[in-house]
Amino acid sequence: MDRISRFLKRDDVGLYLTLIFLIVVVYLMRGFATILLLTTIFAFLGIKVSRWLNLRTHLPYWIAVILAYVVVITVFVGALSYAAPTLIAQLQIIPDMVAKAITDHPVLNKNIDQLVNQAISSSELIKNGKALLVTGIKELSSVGTGFTHVVLAIFLSFVFAVSRGRMMSFGRQFSKSRFHRFFENVYYLVHKFIMILGRIIETQLIICTINTALMTIGFLIIGMPSVLVLAIIVFILGLVPVAGVLLSMIPLTLLAFASGGLMRVVWIILLVIIIHAFESYFLHPRLMADRTDLPVFVTFITLIIMESLLGAWGLIIGIPIVAFFLDVFDVQSSVPQRRTGPATKQ
């Protein structure tokens, strides 16, 4: 028993037991994972921008927080308000183009009529249509839920950023309690993960900005209309690693077809392939190397596995999770800190 007691009192064992405890807690709270992660990301970025404004302009910190959130939300809402009507107007051209193509080609028109008649008389197709409609309604409800989560996360992150000093003072009280070693380990692990996640989010923002600039230049060369709208779409969807490229292909190809036909679609696909290759084989490895030290192959495998395990969130937090565990297990150091845990006595 003495040997077991001494083993459990070791600093590294206490740290790993705390890590297991946090993993169990996160698993039990997985229903709130989206709100927690969004709040963490928004709070990290909001505090960083607010502190930068505080240092540069010498404004009081709480005013800097309010100013940062108001400016970012105003810009984001203004961009969506500008992009949405233009995007809808461009997409409304597509049905007219398809109808004109069918009218100009009698053979295609005849085949379309046959397909429509077969579809009307097919009971199986009607069943599939009903299932597709139900699935679409569910997806729309999930979009509404996601929007609610984003709004709630923005509000919570704002409250946390404004009251950051009070929250830190409240948190320090736990380090003076009877279980101070446990809470010090919790702070050490949570702080490490947030720092890694924040650095990778910052890197993704830089990559997204560079990609948007390059894509905008490509749009101007190709002659795409509404370049500013397309740049907004590329930037917002580009915040999602890897999958953002695939998601952006949908509106880009539709707008290219509506404005210039199939030839412009081909040019858009080539442009996306070139920019994505530049990001994957040059930009992403060079910038991420300074943040995680993960090889490109490991990065891709991580994204594939985490996407299958965690869904869309796996594409965002997959790399931070792997980098975090590698750092905790002393495989690498993504965030320079003491490696033996916060409770180590020198």
How confident is the model at residue 191, as a pLDDT? Answer: 87
**Residue 340 maps to a domain:** no
How confident is the model at residue 259, as a pLDDT? Answer: 73
**Residue 31 maps to a domain:** yes
**Residue 23 maps to a domain:** yes
What's 225's DSSP letter? S
How confident is the model at residue 330, as a pLDDT? Answer: 74
Q: Give the Cα separation of 268 and 276 in Å (integer).
A: 12
Question: Are the C-beta atoms of residues 64 and 54 closer than 8 Å to each other?
Answer: yes
Domain count, the chain: 1
How confident is the model at residue 338, as a pLDDT? Answer: 43
**Residue 93 maps to a domain:** yes
Question: Are the C-beta atoms of residues 307 and 315 closer than 8 Å to each other?
Answer: yes
Per-residue burial over 106-134, b = 16 or more CB atoms within 10 Å of its CB, e = otherwise: eeeeeeeeeeeeeeeeeeeeeeeeeeeee
Query: Which residues of the chain are under the pLDDT cut of 50?
Result: 136, 139-140, 333-341, 343-346
Q: Give the Cα separation of 142 and 306 in Å (integer).
A: 21
- Give residue for tokens 């320079």: 336
Whole-model pTM: value is 0.68
Q: Give the Cα separation of 318 and 309 in Å (integer).
A: 10
**Residue 338 maps to a domain:** no
- Which domain, by its residues, includes 41? 2-328
**Residue 247 maps to a domain:** yes
**Residue 184 maps to a domain:** yes
pLDDT in tens, 231-281: 877 887 776 655 566 677 777 887 777 777 778 888 888 888 888 777 766
- Give residue for tokens 């490509």: 218
Of 195, 200, 198, 184, nearest in space to 340 by CA: 184
How confident is the model at residue 337, as a pLDDT? Answer: 47
Question: Are the C-beta atoms of residues 210 and 283 closer than 8 Å to each other?
Answer: yes
**Residue 169 maps to a domain:** yes
